[in-house]
Amino acid sequence: MATVLSVSGSPSATSRTARLLLHLDDRLRDQGHDVVSLDVRTLPADALLGADFGHPAIVEATALFERVDGVVIGTPIYKAAYSGLLKTLLDLLPQYALSGKTVLPLATGGSTAHVLAIDYALRPVLTSMGAAHVVPGWFTLDKDITVRPDGTVALAPAAAAAVGEAVDRFSAVLRERPALLDGVAALAPST
């Protein structure tokens, strides 16, 4: 199966976004995918804010993006846009860091007023970075995410169904990916 990078763009140590991603990572693993997590807030702030492309942590994060087949990007929505923390990481990645990748954008927030932030703020950036396919993402209200004392997540039934469907669609595209790549290779002129 595919290798997936799960990226949390939340600056909060008690992030609902990060907890939601961990919950969804388990779902992807249950579907046979290898999942690697990247919590952007654990990267050195001086490297992110100083645009230190050569910092070992930034080099390692860039390498993670290179070696995966798919990327799940999770972010809280602040002031109608994805987090500044996520923006700093995306700015440090090579222009086409998502080239050939399947990407699932997910967002969390306190109000449905921010529902379109995925399509109007995040999707254009992901597309400009060369994503082969940005599958339809999902926005989940904070009130629909309950973090249990053991750190696991419980989702409101409607949110669970919607997010589950988005993840399953992403997973299906990843499963189809090898066949699509074989088809493209077959069309390429031989030399």
Burial (CB count <10 Å: 0-12, 13-18, 19+), residue 134: buried
Superfamily of domain 3-187: Flavodoxin domain (3.40.50.360)
In the block, tokens 């399947």 appear at 102
3-state secondary structure of 10: coil
3-state secondary structure of 35: strand
DSSP 119: I
Rounded mean pLDDT of 126-139? 96
This prediction's pTM: 0.91
| Spatial distance between the Cα atoms of 71 and 48, rounded to a whole number of angstroms | 20
Chain segment 50-100, per-residue pLDDT in tens = 999 999 999 999 999 999 999 999 999 998 899 999 999 999 999 999 999
Given a contact cutoff of 8 angstroms between Cβ atoms, the answer to whether 144 and 155 are in contact is yes
13 or 49, greater pLDDT: 49
| Spatial distance between the Cα atoms of 76 and 115, rounded to a whole number of angstroms | 11
| Spatial distance between the Cα atoms of 78 and 12, rounded to a whole number of angstroms | 12
Chain segment 140-188, per-residue pLDDT in tens = 999 999 999 998 899 999 999 999 999 999 999 999 976 554 444 444 4
